[in-house]
Amino acid sequence: MTRVVEIDPREITITPVFKYIELENVPKSEAAGHLVLETKEVVEVRFAGSKNYSPTFPVDAMYRREGNQVITYAQRWADQFRAFKEGSPQEAMGTPLEMLRPHGVTPEQVSLCKALRIYSIEALHHLEGQQLKSLGMNANKLKDAARAFMASRMTATNALSEIEALKAEIEKLKAAQAVSTLPPVQDMKPEEIEAVVKAADDAFADMSEDELKGEIAKITGTRPRGNPSRATLVSSLEELLAA
């Protein structure tokens, strides 16, 4: 019988990325009189909503101790480490962010989440505090979309046929490369993240505020009253277009 797998919220906002890096072996370099590099297996630990902090550890380093047993980082994330060793994709846990498109989330906002190391709807749903604020003016809209998605899924917790249909749809879209929970092995550079943030903040960058008001009026029949901020105008227009 099919069962729903619960995702631990303490883990869903953390994404391990196993990879190879080259490090200098200082003693060997000194003995040889030239640079000696060695390839090491490491894991980069990424935290959703944190673009500046991602510690890296050797895979055999101690994560914690349980009695007399040492638990390594490779053991902590055994499934992801196994995928890495097999050369398979290291998927983040959770549902692809692209499934929020019916809730009004734009491709630019999906890219923003991924640039900020938020790789799934569940991770976005559990984001709080400074990590949530890292989404800037998009925070409320994205959080609301994730909340709506999770609420709709909760109403179907007993409808396994609907859950299986969602899984099948996700797998179909993954095969078509239309959705993904694959974190990039190489993080974006600061200037690349800035470009993504700018695009997500204003998908209508080429339109003036007056033009934005005009587009809103075409849909609602009336122009916005007062002097709403550009962010408010953009958000209103996005919601109207997605309705």
Q: Tell me whether residue 2 is in a domain.
A: no
SS3 219: helix
Length of the chain in terms of residues written: 243
Looking at the fold, whether 155 and 71 belong to one and the same domain comes out as no
Q: Tell me whether residue 91 is in a domain.
A: no
Looking at the fold, whether 101 and 153 belong to one and the same domain comes out as yes
Q: Tell me whether residue 140 is in a domain.
A: yes
Q: Tell me whether residue 92 is in a domain.
A: no
Looking at the chain, list the stretches that DSSP marks H as alpha helix, in order from N- to C-terminal side.
9-12, 26-32, 73-76, 78-86, 107-115, 121-125, 129-133, 139-154, 160-175, 190-201, 209-220, 230-242
Looking at the fold, whether 238 and 169 belong to one and the same domain comes out as no
pLDDT of the residue at 234: 81
- Segments of the chain scoring below 50 in pLDDT: 1-7
**Which tokens sit at 42?**
């490491």
| C-beta of residue 129 within 8 angstroms of C-beta of residue 140 | no
Token pair 């380093």 is found at 61
Looking at the fold, whether 169 and 199 belong to one and the same domain comes out as yes
Looking at the fold, whether 33 and 127 belong to one and the same domain comes out as no
The count of structural domains within the chain is 3
Q: Tell me whether residue 29 is in a domain.
A: yes
Looking at the fold, whether 131 and 171 belong to one and the same domain comes out as yes
Q: Which of 29, 62, 86 is the last residue of a domain?
A: 86
Burial class (CB in 10 A: 0-12, 13-18, 19+), 166: middle
pLDDT of the residue at 8: 53
Looking at the fold, whether 15 and 61 belong to one and the same domain comes out as yes
pLDDT of the residue at 160: 57
Q: Which of 86, 116, 144 is the last residue of a domain?
A: 86
Looking at the fold, whether 191 and 219 belong to one and the same domain comes out as no
Looking at the fold, whether 193 and 105 belong to one and the same domain comes out as yes
pLDDT of the residue at 157: 54
Looking at the fold, whether 71 and 121 belong to one and the same domain comes out as no
**Which tokens sit at 46?**
């990424």
Q: Tell me whether residue 228 is in a domain.
A: yes
pLDDT digits (tens, 9 = 90+) for 152-202: 877 655 555 666 666 777 777 767 666 677 788 778 888 888 888 878 877
pLDDT of the residue at 2: 31
| C-beta of residue 146 within 8 angstroms of C-beta of residue 38 | no
Nearest C-alpha neighbor of 203 from the set 134, 109, 127: 109
Q: Tell me whether residue 154 is in a domain.
A: yes
Q: Which of 32, 65, 86 is the last residue of a domain?
A: 86
| C-beta of residue 20 within 8 angstroms of C-beta of residue 44 | no
Q: Tell me whether residue 4 is in a domain.
A: no
Looking at the fold, whether 113 and 195 belong to one and the same domain comes out as yes
Looking at the fold, whether 199 and 211 belong to one and the same domain comes out as no
Domain of 19 in residue numbering reads as 9-86
How far apart CA 149 and CA 121 sit, in angstroms, is 8
